[in-house]
Amino acid sequence: MTEFTHDEYQSVRVRDIIRVDLDDFIAMMSATESSLAYWADGVLFACYAMTESEALAEKEIAGTTYLDKILFAKHPTFSKTVKSATNFEIPAVNVSRSGMYSRLIAWLKGLPAWND
C-alpha cells in the first residue's frame, strides 16, 4: 500500500521582499504569465521561485527552499478578484488555511518592509 507523508520545509530563504501599493501589485501581476495572487490575513502576495538548478533541487529535498522574491500589498479583506483603479483585474485565492502561508504572512508583518 502507498504511504503518504507531508514534510514541510524546514527553512524558506527569501532574497527580496517588495511591498507595493495595491494598484502597482495588480499591474505587476497582470503583466506576468501567472497573474494569480494569494491572499492571507490581510495581504495579497505572490512568491517567485529561483531558477531551478540541481544544487537547489538537492537543498529542497533536504528541506530548504529559496524564493527569489515575495511581492505583496496590504488588502484587508478577501475577494475572488481584485480590481485596480485603472480596471485591471486579477484573480485571488484565499490560502489563509495554509499553515505555511499563515506563518509567512506573520513573518512579513514583523519585517521593516511591512511599514515602509
> What's the pLDDT tens digit per position in 71-99?
999 999 999 999 989 888 999 999 999 99
Lowest mean pLDDT among 15-29, 45-59, 87-101: 45-59
Kindly tell me if the per-residue pLDDT of 9 is higher than 90. no
Kindly tell me if the per-residue pLDDT of 59 is higher than 80. no
How far apart CA 13 and CA 3 sit, in angstroms, is: 29
Distances in Å between the alpha carbon of 23 and those of 28, 54, 107?
Answer: 9, 37, 23
Kindly tell me if the per-residue pLDDT of 109 is higher than 80. yes
pLDDT number for residue 65: 85
Q: What is the pTM of this model?
A: 0.87
Strands (DSSP E) found in the chain: 11-14, 17-19, 37-40, 43-49, 64-74, 81-83, 89-94
Instruction: Tell me the residue type at 100.
Output: M
Domain ranges of the chain: 11-114
- For the chain, how big is the Rg over CA atoms in Å? 15
**Residue 22 CB neighbours (<10 A):** 15
